[in-house]
Structure formats: C-alpha cells, structure tokens
Amino acid sequence: MLHILIFPVTLINTRSHFFPMTPQPSRWTNLIEFLQVELALPKAAIALALKHCEQKVNLLPVVLWQYGLVTTKQLDQIFDWLEAS
C-alpha cells in the first residue's frame, strides 16, 4: 500500500546540508534518525534527497525511492513510520 503524507515545511542550509524546518522539527529529526538507523541509509543519500526536494521536503520518501536509494518495501516502512509518529 502506498501512503502519501504532505507536511508544510521550509529548508535551511547548514554547512552544505539541507534540513527541514517545520512546526514539529523533532519529527523530521526523528525521521532522519529512522532513515539512518533503521534503514541504514547513509547521510550522503539523505542529503542528496533533501537537496533534490528543494522546498518540498514532504516528498523526501518519494525522492529517496525515485533515486533508487530505498526499495519499495523500505518506502512502505517509511510511510508506516510517518503514519505512526
């Protein structure tokens, strides 16, 4: 099952890495931690996806998938995590 969640966000650039700023920044911090720890995605892969999301960080999971950085199974895990958090 494919879930699509949309969150309003903007990006800030900190030392050439893009990080989302939302009303709930800890949620994005937790998402990035989930991607690194649970799915073992390298920081560089996450930074690449964030860079290509531009102002649409809510599309991070889909961009990760489009660039082949996560499988469809991992994409579903990300959406499940987002839904549960």
Domain total for the chain? Answer: 1
Block mean pLDDT (10 aa), the chain, length 85: 46 47 66 94 92 75 93 95 88
Residue 7 lies in a domain: no
Residue 32 lies in a domain: yes
Domain that holds residue 59: 20-84
Tokens of 67: 């660039």
What residues contact residue 22 under an 8 Å CB cut-off, 6+ apart?
A: 7, 8, 9, 28, 57
Helices first, then strands: H and E counts in the chain: 4, 2
Residue 15 lies in a domain: no
Indicate yes or no: pTM above 0.95. Answer: no
| Amino acid occupying residue 28 | W
